[in-house]
Amino acid sequence: MPDCSQCQGTGRETYDEDGRTVTDACYHCGNTGKVDDDTAFNDRLMSVADTLAYHQEVEHRRWVNSDSDGDGYDLGGYENGLMPHDYFRCNVWDRIPEIGEKLRAMTLQEQELLIAWNELPYEPMPPQTAPIHEPLRAVIEDDNIPF
Ligand SMILES: [Zn+2]
């Protein structure tokens, strides 16, 4: 049987509770570390929903913040007593059920394609704020050529 995605096959879950690290039995697989094929497939499909929800919310945040007359995305969180990071995560979670419904309505072939896409090895882009050293240095070196 496939490993449980929740606990990576360990049967135990470690999470943060009020700043303490708590280790508990994994409810998802009933402490066995294994799930049946249907559950494993559904978990992988819901991981696709998670990815899509994340990207939708990133787009939404960009759209809200692009309105120079608006209050900005983070204010919506402060109004609800949430830090920007938690506000973003809650909004992603809110999107997942609806996306999950759409994914479940798809054909098995479409679902398998999306799962394969979602599980491709991912190389994160460097942060856009990273200083760009190489072109600058090249310009300086050009000026130092003694002829
Ligand atoms: Zn588990």
Measured in Å, residue 128 CA sits from the centre of ligand 1 at 36
| The pLDDT of residue 83 | 94
What are residue 34's phi and psi, to 5 degrees?
Answer: -125, 150
| The pLDDT of residue 122 | 73
Tell me how many domains the chain contains. Answer: 2
Q: Which residues of the chain have pLDDT under 70?
A: 126-147
- Examine residue 127 and state whether it is found in any structural domain, yes or no: no
**Alpha-carbon gap, residue 130 to 105, rounded angstroms:** 42
Claim to verify: residue 51 and residue 74 sit in the same structural domain: yes
Measured in Å, residue 11 CA sits from the centre of ligand 1 at 5
Residues whose beta carbons lie less than 5 angstroms from ion ligand 1: 4, 6-7, 26, 28-29
Measured in Å, residue 104 CA sits from the centre of ligand 1 at 22
Helix (H) or strand (E) holding 13: strand 12-17
Measured in Å, residue 2 CA sits from the centre of ligand 1 at 10
| The pLDDT of residue 144 | 58
What are residue 135's phi and psi, to 5 degrees?
Answer: -60, -40
Claim to verify: residue 48 and residue 21 sit in the same structural domain: no
| The pLDDT of residue 56 | 96
Claim to verify: residue 26 and residue 66 sit in the same structural domain: no
Residues 6+ apart with CB under 8 A from 1: 34, 35, 36, 37, 40
- Examine residue 132 and state whether it is found in any structural domain, yes or no: no
Task: Residue 89: give the domain boundaries.
Answer: 41-118
Claim to verify: residue 107 and residue 50 sit in the same structural domain: yes
| The pLDDT of residue 147 | 60
| The pLDDT of residue 16 | 87
Claim to verify: residue 21 and residue 75 sit in the same structural domain: no
Question: Which residue reads 């130092």 in tokens?
Answer: 144
**Alpha-carbon gap, residue 120 to 70, rounded angstroms:** 37
- Examine residue 75 and state whether it is found in any structural domain, yes or no: yes
Mapped onto helix, strand or coil, the DSSP state of residue 14 is strand
Mapped onto helix, strand or coil, the DSSP state of residue 87 is helix
Measured in Å, residue 140 CA sits from the centre of ligand 1 at 56
